[in-house]
Amino acid sequence: MQVNLRSFKQKVRHNAKQLRTFLTKLEKKNPKSLDKWAVTLSTEVWNEVDCLSCANCCKTMSPTFTPADIKRISAHLEMKPTEFKEKWLEYDKKDKDWLNQLRPCQFLNLKTNMCSIYEVRPADCAGFPHLTKKKMNEYIHVHKQNVEYCPATYKMVEKMKDLQKEIFQK
Ligand code: SF4
Ligand code: SF4
């Protein structure tokens, strides 16, 4: 399903606070079945969200670039890692991460929403938005941030909130 970013932003303005409050509750209660629900509901989400009609993550956020990402991508671009970092990245001293200098990402084709380095993209991009990658409870702090940028995360949290009675049943 196509993503309408304008209506997504409106929904975020109205509902993000409630969804974050729900996530805090989820984090505290940490129901046993949470990871199973995440798998089931993320399948539904990916049937409903078409990332190529969105690309809001690539437009508004930066992935973190690990040393392995920097080595692989710079080799792909026939650059030295130091040149690559100087040209495109900046170091976040607080979180000790390499991030993009630019938003949208320099590798995003804004006409097609395609990534020009897709095969060698950062691991963070490949796993984003991490709906089922880790134990969900360990990732809730990230979903709290992403709920306002990523329509897939928003939908996942909305579905969980709608099913909270079932999810909180032991
Ligand atoms: S590297 Fe590719 S997938 Fe990652 S943010 Fe940039 S355009 Fe998006
Ligand atoms: S991962 Fe989220 S923000 Fe990125 S393109 Fe897909 S729905 Fe949009």
| Domain ranges for the chain | 33-59+128-170, 64-121
Which of ligand 2's atoms lies nearest the C-alpha of 151? 7
Model pLDDT for residues 99-132, shown as the tens digit of each residue? 999 999 999 999 999 999 999 999 999 999 999 9
* Closest ligand relative to 123 C-alpha: 1
Candidates 66, 69, 100, 125: which one to mutate for ligand 1, based on the most atoms within 8 Å of Cβ? Answer: 125
pTM of the model: 0.94
pLDDT at 54: 98
Model pLDDT for residues 37-53, shown as the tens digit of each residue? 999 999 999 999 999 99
pLDDT at 140: 94
CA distance 5 to 3: 6
Q: Indicate whether 134 pLDDT > 80.
A: no
* Closest ligand relative to 128 C-alpha: 2
